[in-house]
Amino acid sequence: MAGNTDFDLYRPSEEHDELRKVVRQLAEEKIAPHAAAVDEEARFPQEALDALVATDLHAVHVPEEYGGAGADALATVIVIEEVARVCVSSSLIPAVNKLGSLPVILSGSEELKKKYMGPLAKGDAMFSYCLSEPDAGSDAAGMKTRAVRDGDFWVLNGVKRWITNAGVSEYYTVMAVTDPEKRSKGISAFVVEKGDEGVSFGAPEKKLGIKGSPTREVYLDNVRIPADRMIGAEGTGFATAMKTLDHTRITIAAQALGVAQGALDYAKGYVQERKQFGKPIADFQGVQFMLADMAMKIEAARQLTYAAAAKSERGDADLTFQGAAAKCFASDVAMEVTTDAVQLLGGYGYTRDYPVERMMRDAKITQIYEGTNQVQRIVMARNLPK
């Protein structure tokens, strides 16, 4: 598995290129054939999970010392990008496994890492991330979920909303208020298990896109967990959550990049075959210009995303800006490119008989989750490069 940390800006190594070939073949053979049905039936892409686990691609970011592949940030991006190229719902398996588990990797005790990274690396469990609440979305520090100390335990009560893969994942990183007087510095992070007494889930949300990835509320009703399941020191949870997002926003950029590339690839093939006025519509300059613009913007997004991945791997000081920039730019490009792909297919593009309408619907979420693109612009403005 790619683990080269000595790359300059992005420059994928031969190992990264080989990884891309492997993932693309897997995605096209094992995941793409089920993508339309997963969307139509709004069901979890079990075929994708099975294929990813069988090839150790479901959580490539887990360090080798905990039984993982030890992939660097760019390798993780490539896996997510190539899966998203055929099915964005399926790409949320490796993406959210990283999102949910990264707080443990970044701030957790050695005991916590050993306990939870092993099952994740083996594919015995998935990991989700519980930050947002019904009244705390962009204002995450305004959360109301409480954790109260009771001897050697913490007791959690509250509701988390918009939780990706909720009900499927075994483990959940949960942010909860331990000191209401300190606002963001009074928030702590915990690992909650699906089987803990008092944990339950709401009905799946009925969404525009990524229908194969369940999004549900997580209910915490007097959930009593051992004190050693706190991630890091008390009061550091919000800082850990924000540090996590600096790294994982790049995985959203990777999803956006993948779905945009998938839409362009399909549209390129279609315009070669579709004939009007006696010749392929690819021969018309207006169509050529659209394709050129789509390809140009995708390549710009790829450069920005890969550069951000390299900065994530190195832990560069400007990662906060670069991660937000990559996520914001790539997702805006994905929305534009997938919309143009629908346009290039005309009436056919507007039907579910062709994949570009699904890609357009799936692309939209990349502008919203892990911080809306309006929030990304706030983040960038506050962290402008010096």
Residue 309 CA to chain centroid, in angstroms?
13
Q: Which of 90, 173, 104, 94 is nearest to 132 (CA)?
A: 173
- Per-residue DSSP letter, 69: -
CA distance 104 to 121: 14
Give the torsion sign (CA, 196, 199, 204, 209). negative
Closest CA to 72 of 26, 29, 16: 16
Q: What is the token pair recorded at 274?
A: 């579709």
Residue partners of 145: CB distance under 8 A and separation at least 6: 133, 156, 157, 158, 159, 160, 174, 175, 176, 177, 220
**Which letter does DSSP use for residue 316 in this model?**
-
Distance CA 291, CA 268 (A): 7
Among 82, 133, 313, 370, the one annotated catalytic: 370
Q: Residue 282 is encoded by which pair of tokens?
A: 């690819």
Residue 291 to residue 340: CA distance in whole angstroms = 9
Q: Say whether 47 is catalytic.
A: no
Query: How many Å apart are CA 249 and CA 308, to the nearest integer?
Result: 10
Separation CA 95–CA 74 (nearest Å): 13
Dihedral over Cα of 264, 270, 275, 279: its sign: positive
Output the six-digit token pair for 165.
Answer: 């893969």
Residues belonging to the active site: 370
